[in-house]
Amino acid sequence: MSTPSSPDQPAAPRNDGGALPHLSRRAWIWSIAGLAALIAAVSAYAVVAAQAQKVLFQDVGYSVVDEHLTTATFDVFLYADGVATCTVRALNEAYAEVGVVTVDVDSADGAEQRMDTSIATTEKAVTASVLGCTFVSADAG
């Protein structure tokens, strides 16, 4: 049973199921402006970080020739003059490395290159991919 509230007693809190309090128009504007500024800052950081990369790669495909040979195709993008070294590996069904090769990519041959490489394997591979590429040195020319 409820008792009526007297003028001296504060009104009982409204039970709206735990919803968040409503924001004023000014609070919404500041919240949206802050969120937009945060997104702009993160985007700017991502652009600067991407431009700092001197070499990027993208797997294109692979082919299992036989038990002891697999080929891999990948693209390399060089953003500085020099040489990059890419490590390409072949894996078996248990994800164990069964073959590995390093490939040097020279920017003198172009800033964007599609590479095809053969990987000698100790047993039949089921996949091949680039483990990573690192920028090694600038051209001596």
What would the DSSP string read from start to end of the chain? ---PPPTTSPPPPP--TTPPPPPPHHHHHHHHHHHHHHHHHHHHHHHHHHHH-SEEEEEEEEEEEETTEEEEEEEEEE-SSSEEEEEEEEE-TTS-EEEEEEEEEEGGG-SEEEEEEEEE-SS--SEEEEEEEEEEE----
CATH of domain 55-137: 2.60.40
Split at pLDDT 50, 70, 90, the class of 44 is confident
The pLDDT tens digits of the residues spanning 87-136 come to 999 999 999 999 999 999 999 999 999 999 999 999 999 999 999 999 98
